Amino acid sequence: MDNEKSIDKLARTALIIGGLAVGGVLCWYFRSILAYIAAAFVVSLVGQPVMGLLRRIKIKGKSAPDALLAALTIILIAAGAVLVITRVIPFVSGIIRDASILNNSGAISDRSILDKINVWIISVCPWVGEDFDGVRLIIEKLSNLTNLSAVPGLIGSVASAVAGITVGTFSVIFISFFFIKDEGLFGRIVGALVPDKIEERVGRTVLDIERLLSRYFVGLLIEIFGVALLDCLGLWLITGIGFNYAIGIAIIAGLLNVIPYVGPLIGEIIGVVLCVILKYGTGAGLDVNIWLFALIVLGVMLAVQLVDNFVYQPLIYSTSIKANALEIFIVLLVAGRIGGITGLFIAIPSYTVIRVIASRFFYNFKPIRRLIPDVENENTDALV
């Protein structure tokens, strides 16, 4: 009898391992489709709040059909993406191109601070070479990032790139439409893949994850806009660098701010370098020496970063992932160590998912209870 139980247990274990192996192979084979679904899920997280706002618009006491509202939501999101691609990126690229031309043409009348920085870097890191130019390096990297003509070459032929982008875009839009139209669709799909006894709990878990991540991504977009707006106003009104240049540098700083801890620092360095080049190449900006001007630009961007650290980020993290600052800091350190910049990008969303799953399925473990002391209240708040 005991031997039969052992054999049955061994057979079940083998079936589970085999099932997981087959599932892993299938996920790898259909990874592009899973990527479309994941991208559509992220789009739906951003679209759900928009959908909620549109539902509040009523004509004669009735709101429009969900299908129409979902289509309008997709159109609004697509319009925003097209605006960024067709307007913002070329605009930023133009500013970087201007800075590159000014730097290479010798139009800058006073390069003392730039030359001293280069000399210091060469003395500390002699392997960079005697002809090292940090400003030129920064501009070249920015130009590569904003050079849309280089994308097809990275993917392959132009035809295959266009075809792949078209199929991927259509797939994401099509799937997103249904995820936005039916808020619980993704949860039901996941629930259909798990045993019946935990299906209800899985559904609640997915709903918690959707609500928290939706707040996080929307808050992240608001943070990018807020940082860019304050940087633009500060650089324009205080440093006098010019409205168009201020917008471009502010957009760069706002986008880089998405990368926790490292991104704001990179944005400030790039902002100071571009402002110095543009001032001493075009004559725009305050009539002060190069050292003082660089400090003023840095002071403006640091002030905006303080507003972000003490206003924007606490609001975003407290209403989305509901974790304290120490947790976030440790998670980001681990993610950065494991995955570098990519790890920093996905650290907080991934930790949110792990945190909710742990609170629903592993709350009996002491470390989980200590990390999430009042899980029921947290999950209740997430559903409000």
- Is 143 inside a domain boundary? yes
| Domain presence at residue 341 | no
**285 — phi, psi (to 5°)?**
110, 175
Tell me how crowded residue 239 is: count the other CB atoms within 10 A of its CB: 24
Residue 331: inside a domain, yes or no? no
Helix, strand, coil distribution of the chain in percent, nearest 5: 85, 0, 15
Q: Is residue 46 part of a domain?
A: yes
Give the DSSP letter of residue 65: P
- The answer to whether position 45 is within a domain reads yes
In which element (H, E) is residue 182 found? Answer: none
Looking at residue 377, its pLDDT comes to 47
In sequence order, what are the beta bridge partners of 58?
Answer: 63
Identify the pLDDT of residue 230.
Answer: 92
What are 97's two structure tokens? 């191109």
- β-sheet bridge partners, residue 63: 58
The pLDDT value recorded for residue 153 is 46
Instruction: Please report the pLDDT score of residue 260 as a whole number.
Output: 74
Range of the domain at 157: 2-320
CA count, 13 A, side-chain hemisphere, 196: 0
In Å, how far are 183, 213, 242 from 321, measured between CA atoms? 20, 8, 38
**Alpha-carbon separation of residue 150 from 87, 158, 164 (angstroms):** 18, 10, 16
Question: Taking the CA of residue 242 as centre, how many other CA atoms within 13 Å lie in the half-sphere pointing to its CB?
Answer: 16
Q: pLDDT value at position 151?
A: 47
Query: Would residue 227 count as lying in a domain?
Result: yes
28 lies in some domain: yes
Digit-by-digit pLDDT tens for the chain (384 residues) are 556 566 666 777 777 787 778 878 887 887 788 888 888 888 888 888 888 888 888 877 777 888 888 888 888 888 888 887 777 777 777 777 766 666 565 555 445 555 666 666 666 566 666 666 666 666 666 666 555 554 444 444 444 555 667 777 888 888 888 888 887 777 787 777 777 777 778 878 888 888 888 888 888 888 888 999 999 999 888 888 888 888 888 888 888 888 777 788 888 888 888 888 777 777 777 778 777 888 898 899 999 988 888 887 777 766 666 666 677 778 888 887 887 777 877 888 888 888 888 777 777 776 676 666 544 444 444 433
Task: Indicate whether 366 belongs to any domain.
Answer: no
Q: What is the number of structural domains in the chain?
A: 1
SS (H, E, C) 302-351: HHHHHHHHHHHHHHHHHHCCCCCHHHHHHHHHHHHHHHHHHHHHHHHHHH
Read off φ and ψ for residue 62, nearest 5 degrees: -125, 140
Whole-prediction pTM: 0.68
- In the numeric block, which tokens belong to residue 331? 């998670």
Q: What is the pLDDT of residue 122?
A: 66
Question: DSSP assignment of 361-376, as one string?
Answer: H-TTSHHHHHHSTTHH
